[in-house]
Homo-oligomer: A and B are copies of this chain.
Amino acid sequence: MGSISKHTLQRLPTYLAYLKSLPCADNACISAAAIAAALELGEVQVRKDLSAVGSAGKPRIGYPVNDLIQHLEYFLGYSTRNRAVLVGVGNLGLALLSYGGFADYGLDIVGAFDSNPALIGLQIDGRPVLSMDELPTFCQRENVQIGILAVPSAAAQPCCDALIAGGVRAVWNFAPVHLKAPDGVLIQRENMASSLALLSYHLKQPERN
């Protein structure tokens, strides 16, 4: 409950996406074994994960798909809106800003920041691009809870500090650096360099999986 494991939490969106991809017959049920097979997980793991969020199945029948979807969406807070700002309107930042899909996960990007004067004053899909100076004030005034960092490595720590000064308690960091933050602030790094390391290491291996 309060003590749900990080690994379990990370698998939940995958369960949800899979369940939503299913042809939706009302009242349909699915077994843990079927979910496990589709996602190539252990079936005990699926049952444990689902029971950790409080979903119950029925012996001999399985889990009601629609209930499960609702339960997972509720647990993951996809209907609770989280307000975010994006810092760094470069290639990646612009893509994250323009990509509409995060709204499905409860994430609303309400503003963007950049140090480039040529960008300041623009509106991107209705969100203003503002100067870095305004960041802490904006975050406080607009009740921003999440900061998305898509700035160069060297700028990442100062930008992170500015976000925290603005009261942000969760930072999604796309820069390939480790950031420091006080207790109570979560830094979640999207570590693309690590992903690439796994891919390239795999290719170096003679014939392993």
Contact = CB atoms under 8 A, between A and B. Distances in A.
Size bin of chain A's contact surface: 35 or more
Nearest to A190: B195
A209 B196 contact: no
Contacts of A178: 14, 18, 38-40
B176 A202 contact: no
Interface stretch (A62-70, A97-105, A112-120, A132-140): A97-105
B195 A153 contact: no
A195 B188 contact: yes
A204 B186 CA distance: 12
Given A176-B17, A183-B209, A192 B195 contact: no
Interface in A1-56: 2, 4, 6, 9-14, 17-18, 21, 38-40
A123 B174 CA distance: 27
